Structure 1
Amino acid sequence: MASKPILYSYFRSSASWRVRIVLALKGVEYEYKAVNLVKDGGLQHSEEFKAINPMEQVPAFVIGETALTQSLAIIDYLEDMYPKPALTPQDPIKKAQARALAELISSGTQPLTNSTVNKVLCKGNEAKTQEWCQFWIDKGFTAYEKMVQNTAGKYSVGDDITIADVCLVPQLYNAQSCTFRFKVDMSKFPTITRIINTCSELPAFQAADPHVQPDCPEDLRKQ
């Protein structure tokens, strides 16, 4: 019997969260291996993990002897291997729209606000970090909110969950963290908020939530 695939993850990594959502939606069993991005300067920098992902980032998804990296590439693999439920629309226009929304978050927003970028650009300056993160989160959500006016049904693209929703929900964690610290006004994004609230009621999204992951600290866990 083949061994379960392994997901190298960190509970509050939004990129890892995307993959956890898809695994839960598709009912894929896997082994969870935590990579603490903070402890001892970050365990992603260890030689052991660099052998899995030379970019020193999570997630990494290991199937047998093969390690896949980058969240959307992993999700593409899961779409091919486990086609139901489909997260990519069959209609070419809707497929492109869903992909554009997903990339808006995964490429155009989240990477610009992660801790590595902040550390290099802002060098621990709290005011500069606040200004930088507020700008990019607000810009990304403003674009997303405008784009979904033309695509949204129950979810971001029509009435089925797509890769757009998979990327959107974890980004709210960053925005919520920033609402207090970086003053991101989520009231400006009513469609985004509605979609996220709808997704958050689904068991798969709840199972992927950071606060129920094995490596979530006890004081942050949901009861």
Structure 2
Amino acid sequence: MANGGELVSAQYELRYPFARFVARNGIVSLRRYCIDRVQRSFKVSGIHPKESFECAFDVVSSKRELPESSARVLLVAQDVIQQVIQRRSHEVYIRLGHADLVHIILMYCGIDEQLHPQVLSLLKEWNTARMMQDTLIEYMVELGVSKSSTEILKGFLSMDGPLEDVVTTLQNKGLSSRRRNMVGTLKAVLAHLMDIKETSAIMGVKVRCSVVHCSLKRHSEKKTSSCLH
């Protein structure tokens, strides 16, 4: 509680306050770099929440500028990665995800669109190595997802690779022809990813980029990776 009696809350992350600021002030173009303290619910000495530092880089832009904005994020990620690993012999690459691509895959698997938010939450837990794949499937079945749909989804969970390989894989699976309403969205997604790739190369991103079908991918112990959403 503040001195004036107003209720206040500890800052859990840097992005939500910034998003509220942008929405309330009608900002349409802005880039910001921020390093600040955030708090978690873990108590220290039974009184104060756990405090740590978080870094955030946010870009506010129009849809027309999305490829450039995404490329700038990749460029920052590349610079940070290079500072961290320096000259150590690590194979480094950046994994890209696309929310619309995930929704298309879930629709292809026959998963009801009303269940997509819950399924995405489960996928995030799985991607951060907080649950095993078998547990993920069990939870999805409990939500009402059919076993046949989960079997189809399994084929996408571990897929990632260069953009050209992703296009070929999706075409081989008949993803663009199974449902007509997917075709336009899929083409737009792939065009967006291709624009990001080309713009990134122009802006100097040299780290290899691969596309992850299901938004996030487990981190390998032998490889350093980053993921853009």
**Same topology, TM > 0.5:** no
Richer in strand (by share): 2
Q: Kindly name which structure, 1 or 2, has the bigger radius of gyration based on alpha carbons.
A: 2
Richer in helix (by share): 1
TM-score, structure 2 as length reference? 0.26
TM-score, structure 1 as length reference? 0.26
